[in-house]
Structure 1
Amino acid sequence: MQKGRKRPTHHAGADKSKTYPVTETIELLPFLIKNISGAGRNVVKNILAHGQVAVNGKSTTAYNYPLQPGHTVTVSKERPKEKLPFEGLSIMFEDEHIIIIKKDAGLLSVSSDSAPPNEVTAYRQLMAHVRLDNPKNRIFIVHRLDRDTSGVMLFAKSEAVQQQLQNSWQSAVQERIYVALVEGAVKKENGTITSWLKESKTLKMYSSSYPNDGLHAVTHYKVLRASKAFSLLEVQLETGRKNQIRVHMEDIGHPVVGDKKYGSRSRAIGRLGLHARVLAFTHPITGKLVRFETEIPKLFLKPFQKEE
């Protein structure tokens, strides 16, 4: 065999993958051994096992895959990125600046003083996720959702992006829409609740009876569905204060279902009836409006199905 014959395959060059045309009927493993110069049987098996081989664009790990003339085999130089199994969250969107997740009820956004030190949080899982690429990578909290609230949440991948988002939050956020399952029939089709929120010594938020005493909070709502026992509301936040929706719903006599802290007596769905459904904001780097929407949790519709 001539020494220089197979040299071209060495510089699959700067490209991260190399494509080989198939000209005969042959199994995948012998084909790879024949075509990948300088790679022994074990190296090739390793490449296959790590999902670096695709036939006609579809990844395969089967060493006996039957190849036919006209097929193309692509071998990637890089292993597919390892994926961590997430607990209580899924990634909706990610670029080099931000991560958008859908958080389940029950998952802490970030560690709190009262939580066990090793408790799984969204923050901790996402930190591990970005460090798969580079151990120096970090993520930064932009806003929080209560443990028992589910829905859309945003994290930054650098301190600069975090600062930019937090500093321009009021103007950057175009939509922040929740759905709330509340107790009782809300009579008014839509309304706005305004108050000044304060925190008690027991860390419970409440509306002050004095104007300008506390943080100004404005909540808009409209009724999506109603029965004698429950109402499903779409809630739009004008200000994002701690526990704002929960306090305001208690203020109008319709506490969020499952919210014992703020006056609820109902455990109709076995969780807090609050879900962050939509988050739309101006991307801090591209300047474009981005919008993320999730479904209304099926559990929130359950109380109405019983009555139909």
Structure 2
Amino acid sequence: MTNIILKYTIREEQVLREFLLANNISRKTLTRIKFDSDGSIKVNGREENVRYLLKINDIIEITLPSENFSEVVRFIDKPIDIVYEDPYFLIVNKEINLPSIPSRNLEDESLLERVNYYFKKKKINTIPHIVTRLDKNTSGLVLIAKHRHVHALFSNMEIDKYYTALVNGKVKNNEIIEAPIRRVSSSIIEREVGEGGEFAKTEYWLEEYISDKDISVVKLKLYTGRTHQIRVHMKYRGYSLLGDGLYGGDMRLIPRQSLHCSNLAFIHPITDEMINVRVDLPNDMTNVIINK
């Protein structure tokens, strides 16, 4: 079995405890490393205590403790489209009609349960943690951490999430929507813009206008992560997504909301590299654009 190992090269002299806190190794994580049998903190290959004075070019290796699946977890042997993977996380291109996480309906499979099987098959000694979740019928990129610590690192980072949507009519070239979103009082699912809702911010750009179909291809960026945010904000501006029956979208050309997470960009939480992953539109959205 393979544990997750965080590796760092020291750039300045400092006490190990200070380095760990500066790199968001929480006291809770330190406690688990100390008391779990398969966790460790090594400097140049030797275990050291947190009072150790680090020197320039020292190599720190932090072996994160293993994580165990609960007894009720399902492992589903179905394909997952991995577009990026390293020792700390993976990015998957989720298909439509697939929930990100398990639902109460046991007949529904989920992306997470497929990733569970992948972890078990690859002998990854942890459990997957979904960082960016998509609605069941929204396709595209989903970021999945390989350890709760990596998940916690992402929670303190900015992740740029870009989507592509199809709407009727010609939208403005660029607009920022700042409008609070609340639950519709008569529904447990539907949301709306209204007073008392949570702050929500979306930006969009017109990428292409298909005049013979009166359809706009729109690029969007989420600055907040409210439920159904893009769908609600675009309806609010009078541009419901094609196929989005819940929010008044035209159902004639596509049977699901035409929304696809096409791009994720962020600074790697361990290596500080820029990660910028893109995927093409799925066939159902492409067919709406190109078919005459």
Q: Same fold (TM over 0.5)?
A: yes
- 2:240 counterpart of 1:255: yes
Q: Which residue, 64, 86, 94 being the options, matches 2:78?
A: 86
What TM-score do the two structures reach when normalised by structure 2?
Answer: 0.68
Q: Secondary structure at the match of 1:264?
A: coil
Deviation at 1:153, TM superposition (A): 0.7
Quote the Cα distance in structure 2 between the aligned partners of 1:267 and 1:282: 40
CA contact (8 A) 2:101 2:112 kept: yes
Q: Secondary structure at the match of 1:286?
A: coil
- 2:150 counterpart of 1:161: yes
Quote the Cα distance in structure 1 between the aligned partners of 2:124 and 2:263: 32
Other-structure match for 1:272: 257
Other-structure match for 2:178: 194
Quote the Cα distance in structure 1 between the aligned partners of 2:218 and 2:252: 17
Contiguous gaps of at least 5 residues in structure 2:
1-75
Q: Secondary structure at the match of 1:132?
A: helix
Deviation at 1:282, TM superposition (A): 1.5
Q: Which residue, 272, 281, 288 being the options, matches 1:287?
A: 272
Quote the Cα distance in structure 2 between the aligned partners of 1:298 and 1:125: 22
CA contact (8 A) 1:182 1:256 kept: yes
User: Against the structure 1 CA distance between its residues 301 and 140, is the aligned structure 2 distance closer, same or farther, given a 3 Å change threshold?
Assistant: closer
Contiguous gaps of at least 5 residues in structure 1:
1-83
Quote the Cα distance in structure 1 between the aligned partners of 2:86 and 2:146: 9
Deviation at 1:296, TM superposition (A): 2.7
Q: How does 1:22-101 map to 2 (within 5 A)?
A: 86-87=78-79, 89-101=80-92
Q: Secondary structure at the match of 2:163?
A: strand
CA contact (8 A) 2:77 2:117 kept: no
User: Against the structure 1 CA distance between its residues 252 and 94, is the aligned structure 2 distance closer, same or farther, given a 3 Å change threshold?
Assistant: same
Q: Aligned residue pairs: how many?
A: 213
Deviation sequence 1:156-182 (CA, Å, 0-9, x none): 11111111112x14xx31x31100001
User: Against the structure 1 CA distance between its residues 304 and 162, is the aligned structure 2 distance closer, same or farther, given a 3 Å change threshold?
Assistant: closer
Quote the Cα distance in structure 2 between the aligned partners of 1:305 and 1:136: 45
Other-structure match for 1:207: 193
Deviation sequence 1:224-280 (CA, Å, 0-9, x none): 122253211011112222111000111011101111111113230233210000001
CA contact (8 A) 2:241 2:250 kept: no
Deviation at 1:301, TM superposition (A): 4.0
RMSD (CA atoms): 2.0
Q: Partner amino acid for 2:258?
A: G
Q: How does 1:127-138 map to 2 (within 5 A)?
A: 127-134=116-123, 136-138=125-127
Other-structure match for 1:33: none
CA contact (8 A) 1:230 1:303 kept: no
Quote the Cα distance in structure 2 between the aligned partners of 1:141 and 1:303: 30
CA contact (8 A) 1:181 1:273 kept: yes
Q: Partner amino acid for 2:134?
A: L
Deviation sequence 1:131-187 (CA, Å, 0-9, x none): 123375311121210010101110111111111112x14xx31x311000012232x
Quote the Cα distance in structure 2 between the aligned partners of 1:271 and 1:239: 23
Quote the Cα distance in structure 2 between the aligned partners of 1:135 and 1:295: 29
Q: Partner amino acid for 2:236?
A: D
Structure with greater Cα Rg: 1
What TM-score do the two structures reach when normalised by structure 1?
Answer: 0.64
Quote the Cα distance in structure 2 between the aligned partners of 1:109 and 1:239: 19
CA contact (8 A) 1:178 1:276 kept: yes
